[in-house]
């Protein structure tokens, strides 16, 4: 049995909807063979992280366009149900302050979210050399941190229309900037159990012990120091964490490992990924129709 973790954007708190990374168990053959790795890059900055699956996500501009078309479809739906239909997006900064979000704010939000999905993710958990000493595991202030609608989705007209619109939105979540987990079959999951990754994680753990911190994997270091304001200890752990990832090239090895699994996913989802690209083009060109009712669930 192989453990894998789906790849959502770090954590997005949305009004009435909480979108976060979730886990799933992938069951494969007993004699599972790990994919051959390509070259292992030396990674010293989040900006150097490139994975094969990235090119199958809609661009930042496409993602914003999808969100803007979706909210217009939502408002049209609400008006047909007798509501006002004046819903818009709100973005929240890292301190919880909300601002109305037009195209510019959404563009900044999507860019910030995608960078944060590299800084904080399910494989290496945290990698922010520029900010660890000041903010620990926290995001620097001023970044857009989450997204919501401007009205509550408790109103049945809103919640029903949201579900109907989501049924035709590429990725299925208009309140989310498109992430890997919204690709077909939940995308290419992280593979923390790969032996090559586990070997470098053990080296990282040894380095952390040399720096005075006993954590078996990056996950425990992140979990133990992420909540609340950055303390002196959290900043010290974050600095050691990054230092050890740099000295062991943990992120570089993780990128090589994940790239191999991403390519396997791509090779086995050629038709589905091509269909998604057609779906995105059709959605942005206005060639989709919001259903009058929610599609019936398929009997199991």
Enumerate the domain spans of the chain: 54-180+190-284
- Among the listed residues 169, 157, 165, 167, the one whose alpha carbon sits nearest the alpha carbon of residue 78: 157
Q: Confidence class of residue 278 from pLDDT cuts 50, 70 and 90?
A: very high
Model pLDDT, residue 4: 58
By residue count, the chain amounts to: 300
Q: Which tens digit of pLDDT belongs to each residue from 282-293?
A: 999 999 999 998
pTM of the prediction?
A: 0.85
pLDDT of 79 higher than 80 = yes
Given a cut of 50, whether residue 68 has pLDDT beyond it is yes
- Name the token pair of 96: 């919880």
Q: Are 230 and 136 in contact (CB under 8 A)?
A: yes
Rg of the chain over Cα atoms, rounded to whole angstroms, equals: 20
Task: Examine the pLDDT at 299 and tell me if it is beyond 90.
Answer: no
pLDDT digits (tens, 9 = 90+) for 195-225: 999 999 999 999 999 999 999 999 999 999 9
Instruction: Give the up-direction half-sphere exposure of residue 33: CA atoms within 13 A in the CB hemisphere.
Output: 3
Tabulate helix, strand, coil % of the chain (nearest 5): 45, 10, 40
d(CA 300, CA 284): 33
Cα angle 51, 279, 269; round to 5: 45
8-48 pLDDT, tens per residue? Answer: 554 333 222 222 333 323 334 334 799 999 999 999 999 99
Residue 275 sits at φ, ψ, to 5 deg, of -65, -35
Instruction: Say whether pLDDT at 160 is over 50.
Output: yes
Strand partners, 13: 18
Mean pLDDT (the chain, rounded): 87
C-alpha 207/C-alpha 272 separation (Å) is 42
* Number of neighbouring beta carbons within 10 Å of residue 85: 17
Looking at residue 15, what is its pLDDT? 27
Given a contact cutoff of 8 angstroms between Cβ atoms, the answer to whether 119 and 112 are in contact is no
Q: What is the pLDDT of residues 114-152, one digit of tens each?
A: 999 999 999 999 999 999 999 999 988 876 768 888 887
């Amino acid at each position: 049995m192989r453990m894998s973790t789906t790849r959502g954007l770090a954590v997005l708190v949305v009004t009435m909807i909480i979108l976060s990374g979730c886990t799933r168990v992938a069951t494969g053959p007993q004699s599972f063979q790990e994919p051959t790795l390509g070259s292992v890059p030396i990674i010293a900055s989040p900006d150097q992280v490139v994975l094969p699956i990235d090119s199958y996500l809609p661009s930042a501009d496409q993602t914003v366009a999808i969100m803007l078309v979706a909210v217009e479809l939502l408002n049209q739906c609400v008006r047909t149900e007798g509501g006002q239909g004046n819903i818009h997006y709100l973005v929240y900064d890292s301190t919880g302050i909300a601002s109305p979000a037009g195209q510019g704010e959404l563009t900044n939000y999507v860019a910030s979210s995608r960078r944060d999905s590299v800084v904080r993710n399910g494989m290496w958990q945290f990698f922010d050399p520029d900010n660890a000493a000041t903010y620990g595991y926290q995001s620097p202030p001023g970044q857009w941190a989450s997204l919501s609608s401007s009205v509550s989705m408790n109103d049945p007209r809103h919640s029903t229309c949201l579900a109907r619109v989501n049924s035709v939105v590429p990725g299925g979540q208009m309140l989310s900037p498109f992430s890997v987990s919204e690709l077909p079959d939940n995308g290419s999951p992280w593979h923390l159990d790969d032996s090559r990754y586990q070997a470098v994680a053990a080296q990282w753990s040894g380095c952390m012990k040399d720096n005075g911190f006993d954590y078996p994997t990056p996950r425990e270091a992140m979990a133990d120091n992420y909540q609340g304001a950055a303390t002196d200890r959290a900043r010290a752990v974050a600095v050691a964490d990054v230092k050890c990832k740099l000295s062991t090239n943990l992120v570089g090895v993780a990128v090589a490992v994940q790239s191999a699994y991403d390519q396997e996913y791509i090779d086995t989802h050629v038709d589905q990924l091509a269909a998604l690209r057609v779906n995105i083009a059709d959605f942005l060109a206005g060639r989709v129709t919001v259903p009058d009712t929610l599609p019936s669930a398929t009997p199991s």
